[in-house]
Structure 1
């Protein structure tokens, strides 16, 4: 009989689902055990529950000191996926939070921002690491950052949310604009967007907001939809399964605190703008952002921007370093990447959704701009990300 592995994951969290996909991918490839899902995290709430059945290993996203102690008593190999301080002797796999912060800073710097903010939770180590990565990357670029950190009470309530939005309004109104703000996670980013709406600050034109964790449903429900730095939850799950397989074979990992490199920024409308003080350029960029995937031509962009083609070409090259046509292609390719990563749509459907009449031409454009084929990109990101 195959070994029995307990997976402690609350599947109401999208990150947990992505981790489980990574674990399942490893198990399908290696067929070493049978996994049992504790999606109510009963073993977290009552570690004695582990005694109810004979287990051969545990992977947990909701690890506590009590759970770690019980696994030690039962001599159960345990791999911890909780992004908190590690437990002695327990391998931990978590995001490279400093790297997440670096990506956030680079995202805004590339868009021409000169003013930056970070909104996080002072009492959470993962948030402090993301903040430090963000401010470090800005400092290396010769820029500064206004930080607004509060203590997270551990329970998201409407009263606390209202308090935070009021405090964020006071913070936002004192910042120079346009400003790029990174939040420690998508929930915090939603609060920043709500605060901006409450004081009539435009998102993203005046305040661009970037989250972290890339929870697709939460991000798409935000208005405007929220850009977010995407950790590699799939790869975290895959690596956890790999480490557990080693532990079950008496082979501990080289490091007991493994950091997983983030995937990149999933760009949505909350940051899909540039900090440019030229009305014709910003008008053109806004229109391209809305219509690039609908068969948009440069001639149409020129008409919308109320500028001559030569003027607009010069301004685009001055501010962006690329032509209007190249910007249309950039937006199209960004959307193609998103669809390849987040859906199983066939390439024909993706071509239709991104303004290409023919799959072959879409593939040529994608390869030219990314160095990878759509199929190759999808395969690589599914293995490394989920």
Structure 2
């Protein structure tokens, strides 16, 4: 008879779905299970779920003391995937939050930021770990860091979100610019970006913003798209399944407390900038990023940046080694690459979205800057996806 395994996950979280894919990947290559997914995590509040069947094992992303007690009482092996301190006698798989903070700080320092900040939660241990990793890396890099923390109430409400936006706007307004700010998670990063908008602060030109966990759909829907340090929930799920398999078969565990390394920084527009301490250049960059694919001209950029052509040319070459026109083309080419990879649009449609009137001219510009045709770029990416 196949082992009866209870999986306690809230499946509306992207992270939980990735963990379940990792569990499924392990299960397919080992002894098959009869898995039941508690996809609303009802077992988190109702211990009766643990008593509802003679489970062979449980993997939970939403572990509680009551769940731990019930599993121990019934002799059911439990593997905990929640990002909290471990329960005694319960194997724990969780992200390496200290390493995550390190990666965030290094991301900013690589972009030339000499001033950074961290916004977290004062009552969450995982947020403390991310903060401490961030602070350790900035100290080693000789970079000054500002920290802002509040208590997280445990649930996000519109009223609390609005209150936090105002509080963060006041904090960010008093920070030196340019600055890179990492949030303890993506939700906090969204609040930082809303605070910047409320305070009239440019993202990323004045404040570069970096989240954590990489909830990809949310990050892509934000404006500008949010950079984030990605954890590895797939690997977490795989290791949890491996651990439960050993518990159910009586194999010894190498460790009952496993930290999973983050996958790295997924860089999007919110932090895709070099630190520039010049308001005219920052304004020009912001305008280019927003309008480059709408037939933008350098003359329009000059009006928005309140600078002469010679001034702006000189400053752009100083900071970036290229002209404003070249920056417009760079942004357009980045947009073309994204459309080639993420859509199956024909080149004519892509040219329209990237701000080119003629497909042929778009292809010439793309090949000049990328040293490859748009068609070849798309084919190479598709081959990489198939190999992955």
So what's the TM-score if we normalise by structure 1? 0.80
1:125 positional shift: 0.8
Counterpart position of 2:154? 154
Which residue pairs with 2:22 in the alignment?
A: 22
| Contact 1:230/1:262, CA 8 A, preserved across alignment | yes
Larger deviation, residues 118-127 vs 30-39: 30-39
Larger displacement relative to structure 2 (9-18 or 23-32): 23-32
Where does residue 198 of structure 1 map in the other structure?
198
**Are 2:86 and 1:86 aligned?**
yes
Q: For 1:377 and 1:317, how far apart are their aligned partners in 2?
A: 35
Contact 1:284–1:302, Cα closer than 8 Å, also in 2? no
Give the corresponding residue for 2:48.
48
Quote the offset at 1:277 in angstroms.
Answer: 3.9
Question: What is the CA-CA distance between 1:28 and the residue it aligns to?
Answer: 2.4
Q: Tell me what 2:129 maps to.
A: 129
Deviation at 1:36, TM superposition (A): 1.1
Report what 1:234 is aligned to: 234
Mapped contact 2:58–2:76 kept (Cα < 8 A): yes
Distance 2:187 2:332 in 1: 26
2:116 is aligned to: 116
Equivalent residue, structure 1, for 2:357: none
8 Å Cα contact 1:135/1:144 also seen in 2: no
The Cα RMSD (Å) is 3.8
Distance 2:152 2:92 in 1: 23
The correspondence of residues 208-227 of structure 1 with structure 2, limited to 5 A, is: 208-227=208-227
Deviation at 1:221, TM superposition (A): 2.9
Residue-by-residue CA offset, 1:25-82 (whole Å, 9 max, x unaligned): 2222335212210012122111232111121111100001111121112221111110
Go from structure 1 to structure 2 and tell me whether the alpha carbon gap of 1:198 and 1:302 turns closer, same or farther (over 3 Å shift): closer
Cα distance change of structure 1 residues 100 and 270 upon mapping to structure 2, 3 Å threshold: same
Query: For the Cα contact (< 8 Å) 1:243–1:252, is it kept in 2?
Result: no
CA distance in 1, matches of 2:216, 2:7: 23
Greater Rg over alpha carbons, structure: 2
Query: 3-state SS of the aligned residue for 1:30?
Result: coil
How far is 1:252 from its partner? 3.6
Q: CA deviation at 1:195?
A: 1.4
Q: CA offsets, 1:116-155, max 9 Å, x none?
A: 1111001111101111111111111101211001111112
* 8 Å CA contact 1:333, 1:366 repeated in 2: no
Aligned counterpart, 1:181: 181
1:280 deviates by: 8.6
Hey, what's the Cα distance between the residues in 1 that align with 2:4 and 2:110? 48
Measure how far apart 1:24 and its partner are: 1.6
Q: Is the Cα contact below 8 Å between 1:10 and 1:16 reproduced in 2?
A: yes
Counterpart contact for 2:224–2:269, Cα < 8 Å: yes
Number of aligned positions between the proteins: 366
Partner of 2:248: 248
1:32-71 paired onto structure 2 within 5 Å: 32-71=32-71
Secondary structure of 2:245 counterpart: helix
Distance 2:346 2:261 in 1: 31
1:76 lines up with 2:79 in the alignment: no
Shift in Å at residue 109 of structure 1? 1.1
Question: C-alpha offsets along residues 173-200 of structure 1, whole Å, 9 cap, x if unaligned?
Answer: 2111111110001111111111112221
Measured in 2, the distance between the counterparts of 1:110 and 1:378 equals: 28
- Rounded to whole Å, the distance in 1 between the matches of 2:260 and 2:345 is 29
Separation in structure 1 between the aligned mates of residue 345 and residue 46 of structure 2, nearest angstrom: 47
Q: Which residue of 1 aligns with 2:145?
A: 145
Q: Note the C-alpha offset of 1:225.
A: 2.0
In 1, the alpha carbon distance for the partners of 2:44 and 2:262 equals 27
Task: Output the CA distance in 1 between the equivalents of 2:248 and 2:277.
Answer: 60
Change (3 A) 1:2 1:337: farther
Structure 1 residue 334: Cα displacement? 10
CA shift digits 1:266-317 (9 cap, x unpaired): 222211222124689767865875689x7x9xxx989978879xx97x9778
Unmatched segments (≥5 aa) in structure 1: 368-372
Counterpart in the other structure of 2:2: 2
**What SS does the aligned partner of 2:269 have?**
coil
Distance 1:136 1:364, change over 3 A: farther
> 1:370: which partner in 2?
none
**Unaligned stretches of 5+ in structure 2?**
303-307, 355-361
Give the Cα–Cα distance (whole angstroms) in 2 for the partners of residues 226 and 8 of structure 1: 29
Pairing of 1:285-304 with structure 2 (within 5 A): none
Secondary structure of the residue that 1:93 maps to in structure 2? strand
Greater alpha carbon shift after TM alignment, 172-181 vs 194-203: 194-203
Once residues 339 and 261 of structure 2 are traced to their aligned partners in structure 1, the CA distance between those partners, rounded to angstroms, is 18
